[in-house]
Structure 1
Amino acid sequence: MGDTAPAKERDGGDAEEPAARNSIAAMARCYQGFDPAVYLQYNYTAPRADFGRADSIVPWKLACLHEAFAEGDVKGETLVDVGSGPTLYQVLSGCEVFGRVVLTDFLEVNRRELRRWLAAEEGGFDWTPYLQHVCRLEGRGPSAWREKAARLRSVVSEVLPIDVHRPCPLAPGSLPASGADCLVSSFCLESVSPDLGSFTQALRHVTSLVRPGGHVLLIGALGETYYMAGRDVRVPVVPLDEATLCGSLKASGLELLRLCIYTLPADMRVGVDDVSGIFFIKARKPQLGGGGD
């Protein structure tokens, strides 16, 4: 989360009206109070991260990601995670498939949180239950989580700043010239965009980071209008539904392969947002000329 910034200079062919630029700048200001510790407490501890419950949010997300990477068609060398926020769960399955993982976020506080875990420093969020759960999904033994943690630390090459509202969201040279083989993004674009048009444009921007034939895996909120990014930090969110999602995918040139929907149980609605459901999307960027992968 938190990977938006004022749109100052734009590449040709992607001009915006002043009102749109002002709206994006206003979103950036919302994120100046983002508190990684509070955000993690709200969303990545029980009940939303109860690994003993089949209907808990986090195990559902991890299962979707595990399945997508286990099917064998999502492969290559470079995986880029767009808008990592202060979280790592979204690359725990992918790190076994790809030799290079690039994490990104607009906010330095989130990049610092990621680097803290990668450097095994004290005081960071404990991702051990997540590592253990993904290892169970992979059919590995109880001690394998340490191997997975070491694997993740070895393949994360960079933690980079990003701005999804720019036509070139990452600095030149951050990824191979052909693009990343796979892009993952979780709860990012809808929570950093002021409206549906900006969301769709941001999706087009990040899709440009992927090579033709590469895959895009998206997790996000349905029906959400706000979430709490700190004790008193309320961030507006673009409310999405299945139809708007499919429309944005089509406008971005992506081929939808799978759309899964999770509906929140009543006790998962804990007052830190008004989300009603979560989506998981597996999509592919078509080959140039329309050929198969």
Structure 2
Amino acid sequence: MLNFCATLKRLCCNFTSFFFSPFLPGDVSGELLVDIGSGPTFYQVMSGCEVFNKLILTDFLEINRRELRRWLQDEGGCSLDWTPYLEHVCKLEGRRSSAWPEKANRLRQVVSDILPVDVHCSQPVAPDSLPSTGADCLVSCFCLESVSPDLPAFTRALGHIGKLLRPGGHLMLIGALGESYYFGGPGVRIPVVPLNEAQVCESLRETGYTLIRLEVYTLPQDMRVGVDDVTGVFFVKAKKD
């Protein structure tokens, strides 16, 4: 268990680094950032909250939405301590790690809603949840491939969430490569659609995105701790046509 937790922390630090660089001044910014499939986590929006005035989190499960609300309300009872990740992002941004309370306050200020989402619906969130013009940017981490039974379903899900994005808006996407399953608990083996780089690129093209940047992180052997069979992680920056 300790090995798994250490691995998870290393991975999250890599992911926060990916989400830091696009939100530098003059790159990706706007009024509204939407996170698709937040889970109970915040690492993916810790830099984006600085350059967007409004942030909406989403997840399919109420238990995850409840965990997000606990941290945002700052009333205790949150299961996860986000302090090390906030400190890490502060250092990436050129600030002292001790500035993490300011970042936590900023994140709490800009989150305007936590919504249910279903990426397999043609309308993933409730009508009128977002402005009619759409979001300026979407982020999503390990969501679409984890909930899609096959490649066509993954591609359709990309198209569905694209309806929430304005033309010219950005998509920041992280996902697993070569993963066919993960364990959601003891004896609970959950299937995942195994993807390769070419399939990710083709799915983006088919659903109206222009790929700007693709990076691949090959998982070293010491980070393969038996909870899944993932071989790597892809990082995508794309723009809606």
TM over 0.5: yes
**Aligned partners of 2:188, 2:40: CA distance in 1, in Å?**
16
**Aligned partners of 1:71, 1:258: CA distance in 2, in Å?**
18
Per the TM alignment, residue 42 of structure 1 is displaced from its structure 2 partner at its CA by 8.6
In the alignment, what sits opposite 1:46? 6
Secondary structure, in 3 states, of the residue corresponding to 1:77? Answer: strand
CA RMSD of aligned residues (A): 1.5
Q: Which runs of 5+ in 2 are unaligned?
A: none
The answer (yes or no) to whether the contact 2:181–2:190 under 8 Å persists in 1 is yes
What TM-score, normalized to structure 1? 0.79
Q: Which amino acid aligns with 1:206?
A: I
The answer (yes or no) to whether the contact 1:42–1:272 under 8 Å persists in 2 is no
Q: Which runs of 5+ in 1 are unaligned?
A: 1-37, 50-55, 287-293
Spell out the pairing of 1:144-159 with structure 2 (5 A cutoff).
Answer: 144-159=99-114
**Aligned partners of 2:197, 2:3: CA distance in 1, in Å?**
25
**Aligned partners of 1:42, 1:173: CA distance in 2, in Å?**
44
Per the TM alignment, residue 47 of structure 1 is displaced from its structure 2 partner at its CA by 2.4
What TM-score, normalized to structure 2? 0.96
Secondary structure, in 3 states, of the residue corresponding to 2:30? Answer: coil
**Aligned partners of 1:114, 1:103: CA distance in 2, in Å?**
9
Query: Does residue 96 of structure 2 align to residue 141 of structure 1?
Result: yes
Spell out the pairing of 1:235-246 with structure 2 (5 A cutoff).
Answer: 235-246=190-201
Q: Which amino acid aligns with 1:278?
A: V
Q: Which has the larger radius of gyration?
A: 1
Spell out the pairing of 1:252-263 with structure 2 (5 A cutoff).
Answer: 252-263=207-218
Secondary structure, in 3 states, of the residue corresponding to 2:7? Answer: coil
In the alignment, what sits opposite 2:28? 74
The answer (yes or no) to whether the contact 2:88–2:97 under 8 Å persists in 1 is no
**Aligned partners of 2:178, 2:58: CA distance in 1, in Å?**
25
In the alignment, what sits opposite 2:46? 92
The answer (yes or no) to whether the contact 1:184–1:216 under 8 Å persists in 2 is yes
Secondary structure, in 3 states, of the residue corresponding to 1:136? Answer: helix
In the alignment, what sits opposite 2:135? 180
Per the TM alignment, residue 73 of structure 1 is displaced from its structure 2 partner at its CA by 2.4
Give aligned pairs, total.
240
In the alignment, what sits opposite 1:217? 172
Q: Which amino acid aligns with 2:87?
A: Q
Moved over 6 A (4+): none
**Aligned partners of 1:62, 1:100: CA distance in 2, in Å?**
19
